[in-house]
Amino acid sequence: MLYTMGDWFVKPGREDEFVAAWRDLAEWTALEIGPEARAMLLRDRNDPSRFTSFGPWDDEDRITAWRESEGFGTRIERIRPLIERFEPHTLDAIAGVGASLP
């Protein structure tokens, strides 16, 4: 199992706009990928302009195709003016505890 994760550093005062734009990206991704697509956006309680998103993937080629797609690029361009920086990651699941974890 693979995960994509992003650390989003949003411009102060643009948090609500960012959440709406991220939700648009996530909903579009779900339509493109299918019902197995899942994504979560988390907000830092101590730094309300910092967000982390993540979601599971079963195939690295699907991640690459998603990131290179026109629809992804269009939605990321809508997000860019709202953020100071973005740090994307692709992670391998190594260990977990609980029924839904590897």
User: Where does 1-100 show beta strands of DSSP type E?
Assistant: 2-10, 40-43, 50-57, 83-92
Rounded Cα distance between 85 and 31, Å, is 26
Model-wide pTM > 0.85: yes
Q: How far is CA 75 from CA 19, 24, 25, 46, in A?
A: 12, 8, 6, 27
Rounded Cα distance between 75 and 22, Å, is 8
pLDDT digits (tens, 9 = 90+) for 13-56: 999 999 999 999 999 999 988 777 899 999 999 999 999 999 99
The rounded Cα 76 to chain-centroid distance in angstroms is 10
Which residue, chain included where needed, has tokens 């003016």? 81
The CATH T-level fold of domain 2-92 is Alpha-Beta Plaits (3.30.70)
pLDDT digits (tens, 9 = 90+) for 68-80: 999 999 999 999 9
